[in-house]
Structure 1
């Protein structure tokens, strides 16, 4: 299982859920297309959070926020 999840939930809610389940986060970002992308530290943690958000997992392509700009 991938450690990255795209969820149809606000970033604050995802953070609270990860704290509640003691799931360590490697990276978290708000998606341009709506929702939150979270990368968990372990596959086990990702599985726990995936179960918590089973009906809110975004499938298919998403639009992410660029994390850095490229200078020409």
Structure 2
């Protein structure tokens, strides 16, 4: 299964829930229509977040920004 998912939650909330679950994030970005695109580092982490955030999953294809560069703490 894919490590990526689209969620009906703001980025800060997704980061917090991943941290609480001990799941590391490979990539994260906002979606133009609202919500967050999340890519977990491992498939196991993605499965965990899908279970925990099942009520917030966006089904089907989602429009994303053509180019997005995250501003990180690095």
Would you call these one fold, judging by a TM-score over 0.5? yes
Which string of whole-angstrom CA distances, capped at 9 and with x for unpartnered residues, describes residues 9-66 of structure 1?
0100000001001111010000002100000000000011111110110011211112
Q: In structure 1, list runs of 5 or more residues that go unmatched.
A: none
TM-score by length of 2: 0.86
- Considering fraction of residues, name the structure with more helix: 2
Q: What root-mean-square deviation, in Å, do the aligned CA atoms of Structure 1 and Structure 2 show?
A: 1.0
Which residue in the other structure is 1:29 paired with?
29
Which residue in the other structure is 1:7 paired with?
7
Q: State how many pairs are aligned.
A: 68
Which residue in the other structure is 1:65 paired with?
65
Q: In structure 2, list runs of 5 or more residues that go unmatched.
A: 69-74
| Runs of 4 or more above 2 Å deviation | none
* Higher gyration radius (CA): 1
Equivalent position SS for 2:28: strand
TM-score by length of 1: 0.88
